[in-house]
Homo-oligomer: A and B are copies of this chain.
Amino acid sequence: MESMQALPHFGGKLMSAQVSTLLMRELKSGIFSNCKKLPSEMELANMLGVSRTVIRDSLSDIEREGFIERVRGIGTVINRSVVNMTHRLDLKLEYSDLIREGGHIPHTDLLHVSLVSASEHIAAALGIKSGATLIKCDKRILANNIPVIYSSDYLSAEMFSGIELHEINWSEPIFDILERCCGLTVATDVTEITPVIGPAEIRRMLNCSNENALLKMEERSYSRPTHPVLYSISYYTEFFNFKILRKKF
């Protein structure tokens, strides 16, 4: 536990976020990767050269994600099964991450980008006027050449004013495009999940047999604070084993 170093004050970034990132790295594969508990809050504060308040802020975050559990009189217990858990639907927003996590290589094909008029439903989700112009981006995603997702993304065209749409590489993750072209960071997202048989055309594109069901996901993505930027509908095959950590409020 001697190899941790004091953190420098780094412009812009928040201290507690840095501490969280550092602790998670050490929990997954660093000096805490074989421990049952973390050092006490006081020890951590001294090790990293920050106050106990900062440590506690960071530990709260990590605890809420399920990675640790703080118990009075005992200490900060590490939840190994959660630390090593893959395919966490509640912490990853990008399917490319989820595919890579399973040791597969993501790839996009059947890409189709078009301009459409916003239906009432989608306009409400994006907080724009019904009938406004939308960019619709349809694509199929493969994992090691097996089709696993079909998705349709809807974005307000207004956000891309002054940008040549055909110069954008739409096969890239949509969040990366939003970041680079619009300067928008998506950090939170509400997803509605439903098991479905799904439309015949989509089943065909995903090579579904009669025994296969699909997971329909309807997503609303928000940039800080609380500004809707993306609506999307996608169909996932049984290829994925999504896991969710659930906590009582």
Contact = CB atoms under 8 A, between A and B. Distances in A.
Interface of A: 24, 53, 57, 60-61, 64-66, 69, 71, 74, 77-82, 85, 89-93, 186-197, 210-215, 220, 222, 224-226, 236, 238, 240-249
A241 to B, nearest CB: 6
Name the 5 nearest CB pairs between A and B, nearest first: A213-B213, A69-B225, A195-B195, A195-B213, A195-B215
A193 to B, nearest CB: 5
A245 B215 contact: no
A196 B238 contact: yes
B85 A190 contact: yes
A238 B193 CA distance: 9
A53 B71 CA distance: 19
Copies in the complex: 2
A46 to B, nearest CB: 20
A89 B195 contact: no
B64 A64 contact: yes
A81 B188 CA distance: 12
Contacts of A186: 248
A220 B243 CA distance: 11
B246 A191 contact: yes
Given A77-B225, A79-B226, A92-B248, A242 B192 contact: yes
Contacts of A53: 53
B190 A243 contact: yes
Contact of A195 (B85, B214, B226): B214
A243 B89 CA distance: 12
B81 A190 contact: yes
Given A64-B61, A195-B214, A195-B215, A91 B249 contact: yes
